[in-house]
Structure 1
Amino acid sequence: MAYYESIFIVRPDLTTEQVDQVAARVAEIITANGGTILLHELWGRRQLAYPLKKNTKGYYVFNLVEGGGALIANLESRLMIDEDVLKFQNIRVKSANLNPSPLAPSAERAAEESERLLPGDEGYGEPDEEYGEDEEEEELEV
């Protein structure tokens, strides 16, 4: 069996649950055609390099797949039909690298993003304590 890296971009107007449903449909196609998913990563919503079907952002999904050529042919034909998928690419690799990719969200990064304040949250837009507004500038003597 051969190893393939499969990356596809999903429409940005979908919710996270809908993106998971699209990824589940892809996983079902892979297993139905005799393949196995060795690694699955949701890279999140990212800016696209150029507009695709009038979209400037999209959800990136990465799968490391073990299977044959017929599996990839069936997967690509199904991804072409799927309206939620903007673009996809399947690449054959020599060996399976099961380490998380650099684009995969780490636990530390996820914790930082959850701590970040959004507009409408309490404390958003307030000055930091170390940079108080009442500090006076020192005048320089000439």
Structure 2
Amino acid sequence: MNESYEMIYILRPSLSEEQVNQEVNKYRDFLNEYNVKDLQVKIWGKRRLAYPIKRFIDGIYVQMNYQGEGNQVAPLERAMRLSEEVIRYMTLKVETAVSETPASVPEVLVPEPVEEPTPVAAEA
């Protein structure tokens, strides 16, 4: 059964555009060897990190969405762990949205408008 996955990883900020494309293509080819479906890659570019990671304050973010059996997650994460260009990665299993209509639509209650009190003139 194919599951949907989302992986976000951060590359060192000192990489050139050509090196970034090489890294992205390396992991794209890696996933294609496992016959994943609907592979989408988005390069977010260089962004400030929320906190320093391995003494880096910036990083190049890359997001990959795909569908696969699940046997590709551990080898891909191992390859990223061994890479010196990847400073952080995270893989999430994405839950598919259930598109069911509710059996009965609950009645929406509208609160009654509240009347504001009239201002009282200050006594002197």
Structure 2 residue aligned with 1:7: 8
Partners of 1:36 and 1:12 lie apart in 2 by 29
Larger Rg: 2
Identity %: 33
The gaps in structure 1 that reach 5 residues or longer are 97-142
Number of positions where the alignment pairs a residue of Structure 1 with one of Structure 2: 96
* Structure ranking higher on relative contact order (CA contacts 8 Å, 6+ apart): 2
Q: After TM superposition, which residue ranges in structure 1, 4 or more long, deviate above 2 angstroms?
A: none
Amino acid at match of 1:46: R
Q: Say if 1:34 and 1:71, in contact at 8 Å, map to a contact too.
A: no
- TM-score, normalised with respect to structure 1: 0.64
Q: Say if 1:30 and 1:36, in contact at 8 Å, map to a contact too.
A: no
Amino acid at match of 1:83: E
Structure 1 residue aligned with 2:58: 57
The gaps in structure 2 that reach 5 residues or longer are 98-124
Higher strand share: 2
Cα RMSD between the aligned structures? Answer: 1.3
Amino acid at match of 1:11: R
Deviations 1:8-54 (A, max 9, x none): 00000001111111000110111112213532111010000111111
- TM-score, normalised with respect to structure 2: 0.73
- Mapping 1:1-142, distance limit 5 Å: 1-95=2-96
Partners of 2:18 and 2:40 lie apart in 1 by 19
Partners of 2:39 and 2:87 lie apart in 1 by 23
